[in-house]
Every structure is written in structure tokens, then in C-alpha cells.
Structure 1
Amino acid sequence: MDFGDQVSRLARAHQLGAALSADMQAWGVSTPYGVRASIAEDRLSWELRLQVSQSPSLADWGFRFGEAVNHLRAALDNLIVAIARQSGVTDEKQLKGLVFPICGTLKEWKSRQRALSCLPDWCREALEQVQPFQRPEHGGTLDGDLLLILRDLDNSTKHHLQVKPDLAPQSIQHTPRVEFETEEGAAASVPPDAEVIVGPFEDGAVLLRYRTKGRIKSIKGQYNITAQVQAVSPDGRPHGVTDLLAALWEYTRIIMGHMMGAADQAERRSGA
């Protein structure tokens, strides 16, 4: 069978992902952000604030991420249509309604059988083998299933996709040196009362806040902030954009290989 169009879509998604990763890395190494420590007017607290000198191209990155996801989903959908055509299905209305099923439950899979009835038996069997609902039966879990993530992201990119640089608390490394006005104030401020704040990635955003019992004379220190560009999936979970896209591409490639292998076996059996 000829699967040239599906392979080209997979290649296009890979190209988009590589270009997106390169652009994100270029932004990161340009030192586009830093931090600034400031003491409160009453000198009983201090904050570490983000300084952004060059904002990331979030709108463009989100668009390209969504385009890559759409190509991966389309590669699977078009694969099923190609199999149907080469199996003799000519009804364009029927072909137009065909999609690669991605089912999280057995009930959902059974509800798709009528739409898939035009496909050959070997194809339906191969499709069933890769369905997410099979995971729990083999000791797996639906949490993080890449086919379900691909389906949900593809649906969301048709409407709205959240892509943002997010700061995880563990990405903030700091070694502050606080000097107090009195020794009594320093002693009263142990242990430190610190708050880590994960907020929007924007100039002036508060990252850390320290409250003290004694008045602060000065604050010095070294700080290192690492930002990660994340896509927020429809269930609210954040994922690193480049890591997620690479995982989706690899899993889509595996699924397509499984279907193509089943097609080759069916052809050999029919020609025997």
C-alpha cells in the first residue's frame, strides 16, 4: 500500500518541532530575563522579582506547536482513509467520516464499530490493539497515554491552545545573604519565612518573598532562574513543549508502523 502522504505529514511535524525547539533555545541563550531583589518599605520583608528584557514569541510558538499536533493527528486519520480506499471503498461521504479512532474505554470503542465497518478485518484488529483502553488490561494506565493526549490537544488547537513559559519552583536556585540592622532581629528571623510564587512569566512578577521579624539592612546573593516553555493540555496538566512534541511524534511513528506492518502482512496473506 502507498502511505506517502501520511509519511510526509509525519516528516512535516518533525520539521516543525525541530524549528520550534531551535527558536526556543535561541531565545533562552540570549539571556532574555533575570532577577532583582528589593526590600519592602518597612524593611520586614524582601522579594525577588523577575526582569524580562525580551518576551518570548508565545503566539507564534503556540501556532506552530498546534500545527505540528494537527499534522500528527491528520497522518493517522489519512492513514485510515488510504486503507479504506485501497480496500475498495469509494463512497466519498463514508470516506469523509472516517477518522483514526482513539478510545479511552471499551464502550467508546464499541460505539465506533459501525463507522469502521467498511475497513478490512485486519485493519480493525490492528486498530483495536493500539487503543488506549487496552492499557489497564495490560497493567498500564490511561494517565499520560500519548494517543489520548494527541486527540485532546488536536481538538483544543482547533479552538485555543495555552502555551506559556512557566517557572517551576525547583527551577529557582538562590543563595541570599541578608544583613539585619540588629543581631536580635537576625536571631528572631530564624528559621526564614519564605514563600515561592509561581505566577505569570512577565516583567516584575514576584518569584520569592521572604518575611522577617527583624528589620533588614541589606540583601545580596546569587540567583539562577530556569524557565520551561509549557503546553497546558485540556485536563490542566502542563507539559514541556519540545519534550511532549518529540514524544507524540515518536509514538505516532510507532502506531503508523504498526498499521503499515499489519497491511503488509494482509497483502502477503492475500497473495499467498
Structure 2
Amino acid sequence: MTDATNGQDPGAPPQSKGLGRRWVFGKDISSWPMQKVAHAAQRKAELESRISLWAAGFPIENEATLSEDRRKWETRLRVRVEPPSQEWSLILGDVLYGLRSALDACVWEFAHIDGAMPHKPNLVQFPVVRDPANWDKALRERLQSVPREVAERIEMVQPFNRPLGQVAVDPLVILTDLNNTDKHRASVSVSVDPHGIRQNVSVTFDSEEASERNAPPDITYHFPSLADQALVVDARFKDPVREVRGGVTVGMRFTVDAPMGKEGIGSLTSGLVQNVHDVLNFIAVGPASPEELAEMSGQNDEGWLPVDIQADESGRTFTTSARQDDSRQSS
């Protein structure tokens, strides 16, 4: 007789958490989840390519002007070609959906492994749980017929394993929130924001006294939303300026509104793709066994420098450092 939650035999001897059977995608279990990740990565590359193509056309210029009384100097943005933000946002939505559905597809495969059948298949999905008090319910409903070791591995990657202040920035939470926003509320918008101003400007006056009166310069830097004629730099002078040489360069950052604020689209999508790929592999393979950890640390192989492997409180993150062992060092 098996447990109704995860197909575990109540009479079976206890095992270390997450250890047990291992599966290989494409051999022991369908490669469909990993193909979804690969497709999401492909759409991510397409998004980056389209952004690069737009940027290569020099769609934005900086225009500097000196006021008639020569006491005010400004630099404004001139937008020659508007960014196709809506098109980019649609592609980003595809990336998010592909990654989230890869997680769900993986759980679905394991819920039907070896002929298993969930009693409420419409509830089966990859759970993302922020509060450990909600885990038991997620286990019963979302992982109904998933093998015990797989359910334990999924528990080990849950956001609630992080310190409380880091739960909101867990990649699984970010992915879930962005995907839900894109599906149920509004599009997840990709935007172009001025980011980083480099200045190479020299100002000359009619006299040394005027130069001294205007030191240090009275300059304000702005980081506006991308719009034609948006003010970027304005400088005010006490005396008329004879000449202004040089100018400023305004960098552009391609961002998306994430739970922790605006995030660069490249780093965000790269991180999410890598995280989902790693989570799927961990679910299929599980943590290293004590024997494997011993082998990795060199305890069973002469000539290897011993390594201390320390797990953090979650039991999932390991830090390593080499130990100096006199018995292994040459004299």
C-alpha cells in the first residue's frame, strides 16, 4: 500500500532527503521539458537580436543648445526611431511562458511515471511556495502522484528555503510573478531608459573672473523616460558663455519591471533560463550522495587535495575550500 501523497511505501526505510532514483531526460523521461527551455532560450536570443538591430540604426541622438543670453546650456534626446517595445514585450512573454511551462511539464511527466495516475490531474503543476506553512497543501494537490524523491527535490528548491528577505527575489518567484502578470493582467513591458551619462564638455568665458565665478559649474543631470525632446543635462551660468565644446553621451538600458524594480532584460532572462535548466536537472538527478561528496572532496582518491564542503542552512548551497593536509604535501 502506498501513501496517497507521493506513492511512498509507509513501510519503506527512511532515506536521506532527495536521494533515490535518478532519471535522464530523453532516456528515462521525456525530453519535452528541456526542449521547452531550449525554445525559451531561442526566443530570448531572438529578443536580444531584435533589440541589437534597432540600436544599430542609431535611433537616438543628443541635441545640445545654448540659450540666447548664453547663460543656459541644455542637452535633449532626439528620438529618430521609436523602439518597438510592444513587439519586444510579446517575445518576452513567450520566454516567460516557455520557462514556466517547462517546470509544469516536468511535474506532469513525473506524475505519470511508471504508469502512475494523479486523481486530480487538473491540479498537477510545479508549485512555487513562499511560506513553508503552505507546502503540505502544495504537496497534496500539485504533486499528487510524483515519486517521493522527486517531491523532496522540488521542496528543496522552493523559495521558502531562503532567508525571509530573499524570498521575493528568488528566480522561481520572479518567473511566476512576471508570467502571471503577462497572462492575466497586462503585458510585461520592455522599456528603454537613459542610463549612464558620460560628459566631455569644456566651457570658456570672456574673462578669468567670469570663469572663477562659475566654478564649480551648476549642472543637473536627468534620467527621464525615453521621449523626444526629453531633457538630459542642463547647465546654468552666472555669466554669458563664450563657447561650449564637446558634449555628452547618454547610454541606453533595456529593462523590464520586475518585483525588485527595473531589471536589465539580458541579465534577467539569462538568469531565469539558467535557473529553470538547473532546477529541472536537480529534480531529475537530485543532490549528491555522501559517497559522491566524499569522492568530490578527494577522500577516496590519492593525490587529490582534500576539500571541505559545507552546506548552508537550506542544505542546497555548498561552499568549498581547500584544506592543507601535511600528509599530502611534499616536503
TM bracket, shorter-chain basis: 0.7 to 0.9
TM-score by length of 2: 0.71
1:50-80 per-position Cα deviation (integer Å, ceiling 9, x unaligned): 1222222111111101111110000001111
| Structure 1 CA distance for aligned equivalents of residues 121 and 70 of structure 2 | 70
Q: In the TM superposition, what is the alpha-carbon distance from 1:164 to its structure 2 partner?
A: 0.3
Q: Does 1:69 align with 2:69?
A: no
Give 3-state SS (helix, strand or coil) of 2:239's partner.
coil
Inter-partner Cα distance in structure 1 for 2:38 and 2:81: 31
- The structure with the largest alpha-carbon Rg is 2
Distance in 1 (alpha carbons) for counterparts of 2:118 and 2:177: 30
1:220 to 227, 230, 245: 245
Q: Amino acid of the residue matched to residue 99 of structure 1?
A: Q
Assess if the C-alpha contact under 8 Å between 2:93 and 2:188 holds in 1: yes
Aligned partner of 1:113 among 111, 135, 139: 139
Where structure 2 has 5 or more consecutive residues not aligned to the other structure, the ranges are 1-27, 290-331
Contact 2:69–2:240 (CA under 8 A) maintained in structure 1: yes
Amino acid at match of 1:101: P
Cα-to-partner distance string for 1:101-147 (whole Å, 9 max, x where unaligned) = 1122212334423313433321220111111111229xx93363211
What is residue 270 of structure 1 aligned with on the other side? none
Q: In 1, Cα distance between the equivalents of 2:224 and 2:260?
A: 15
> Identity rate of aligned residues, in percent?
26
1:103 aligns with 2:118: no
Query: What is the rounded CA distance, in whole Å, between the counterparts of 1:80 and 1:120 in structure 2?
Result: 10
Give the 4+ runs in structure 1 shifted more than 4 A: none
More helix, by proportion:
1
RMSD: 2.3
Question: 210-219 vs 10-19, which deviates more?
Answer: 210-219
Q: Which amino acid in structure 1 is aligned with residue 67 of structure 2?
A: A
Aligned partner of 2:47 in structure 1 is 20
Counterpart residue number, 2:76: 49
Aligned partner of 1:3 in structure 2 is 30
One-letter amino acid of the counterpart of residue 106, structure 1: P
Q: CA deviation at 1:218?
A: 3.2
Contact 2:103–2:280 (CA under 8 A) maintained in structure 1: yes
Separation of aligned partners in 1, 2:57 and 2:137: 52
TM-score, with normalisation over the residues of structure 1? 0.86
Aligned AA (1:241): I
The number of residue pairs the alignment matches comes to 257
CA–CA distance in structure 1, aligned partners of residues 29 and 174 of structure 2 = 28
Relative contact order, CA 8 A, sep 6+: which one is greater? 1
- Kindly indicate whether residue 191 of structure 2 is the aligned counterpart of residue 167 of structure 1: no
Query: Aligned in 2, Cα 1:221/1:90: closer, same or farther, shift over 3 Å?
Result: same
